[in-house]
Structure 1
Amino acid sequence: MPEAVDYLMFALLIGAGATAVMDIWAAARERLLGIRPLDYALVGRWLAHLVRGRVCHDPIAASPSVQGERLLGWIAHYLIGIAFAATLLAFWGLGWARHPTLGPALVVGIGSVAAPFFVMQPAMGAGIAASRTPRPGVARFHSVVTHGIFGLGLYGAGWLASWLDTLAWRSVW
């Protein structure tokens, strides 16, 4: 199989798998701790307004809703997870995907918290690193933990993808 196809298959499996782990964590956190997960409709709303030229909102929930925003937000959520998996592979290579280690997965997972801290939260009216929320320290803590879980998901999904690589998709190609 050409290396580019390997790269794409691993990025898709690892990114989608890690994002699913993060979503399972969000559901468990809501059920066990009563902490509501991010409403991805708001992410979709932000993206829909972004393509129309509006970057910042104060807050995004007060901006007009957009048809299909929930679906758009969820698709973006998974594509972003896949993009972070591709970033992991770009730095550590396909060798990491075939023999995953925890360190690089946690570096990318925890490092990915920069995206909400410095892009999403400010653009959606929450300020840099949730500074304009009622409890910024708590919001930051939950963001870091959630992105750490994403890192663990990258590692776990990496192992699953490497196992599938040895068993299945080699014979398909």
Structure 2
Amino acid sequence: MGWMITGVLMGIGGTLAMDLWALLLRQVAGLPLPNWGNVGRWSVQVTKGQVFNDDIGAISPVAGETGIGWAVHYGVGIFYGVLFLVIVGPGWLTGAAFLPLWVFSILTIAAGWFLLQPGMGLGWAASKTEDPWRGRRMGLVAHTVFALGMWVVALAVGGTV
């Protein structure tokens, strides 16, 4: 298996781990699941040149926005999986140390904090939400789960590159 396919699988595995984490949080703590429809709506707005919005919920719904949101969610995860291997090189797969992957995954939260959240009207790093620090902590944990998911896939298939 080539390193690029491994990167794709790592991205899918990390994103799936985040989704399973969200389901667990819903079951255990009653937290709401992410609204991928809003992400899809925002993504369509970006293609029209509107990156930042005051309130994505106030914008008219877009046909297929939930599917678009899910596709963007997994597409970004796949991009990150491949990008990580581009940065560290496919040789990383031999030992697959967790720390570089975890640091990378934590750094990727910057896209959510400084592009996605303000783009949807939530402010920089969720600053316009009811409890910004709770959202930031939850995001850091979710990105750690993302790293764990990518790492498990790297360990499982990395040796076949």
Which TM bucket (shorter chain)? Answer: over 0.9
1:61 aligns with 2:57: yes
Report the count of equivalent residues: 161
Which residue matches 1:106?
Answer: 102
Which residue matches 2:33?
Answer: 37
Question: Which range moves more in the overlay, 95-104 or 41-50?
Answer: 95-104
1:51 aligns with 2:47: yes
CA distance in 2, matches of 1:159, 1:73: 29
Structure showing greater Rg? 1
Q: Detail structure 1 runs of 4+ shifted over 4 Å in the superposition.
A: none
CA distance in 2, matches of 1:109, 1:161: 19
Secondary structure of 2:91's aligned partner: helix
Q: Deviations over 1:4-57 (max 9, x none)?
A: xx2321111111011101110011011101111221111110011111222121
TM-score (norm 2): 0.94
CA distance in 2, matches of 1:88, 1:53: 28
AA matched with 1:64: S
Displacement after TM superposition at 1:109 (Å)? 1.3
Displacement after TM superposition at 1:90 (Å)? 1.2
Equivalent residues of 1:15, 1:84 under 8 A apart: yes
1:148 aligns with 2:144: yes
Question: Which range moves more in the overlay, 34-43 or 64-73?
Answer: 34-43
Which residue matches 1:170?
Answer: none
Which residue matches 1:72?
Answer: 68
Greater RCO structure (CA 8 Å; 6+ sep): 2
CA distance in 2, matches of 1:98, 1:83: 21
Displacement after TM superposition at 1:157 (Å)? 1.5
**Pairing of 1:126-137 with structure 2 (within 5 A):** 126-137=122-133
* Residue among 1, 4, 7 paired with 1:8: 4
Secondary structure of 1:73's aligned partner: helix
Question: Which range moves more in the overlay, 62-71 or 47-56?
Answer: 47-56
CA distance in 1, matches of 2:71, 2:94: 27
AA matched with 1:12: V
CA RMSD between the two structures: 1.4
Structure 1 gaps of 5+ residues are 167-173
TM-score (norm 1): 0.88
Which residue matches 2:22?
Answer: 26
AA matched with 2:14: A
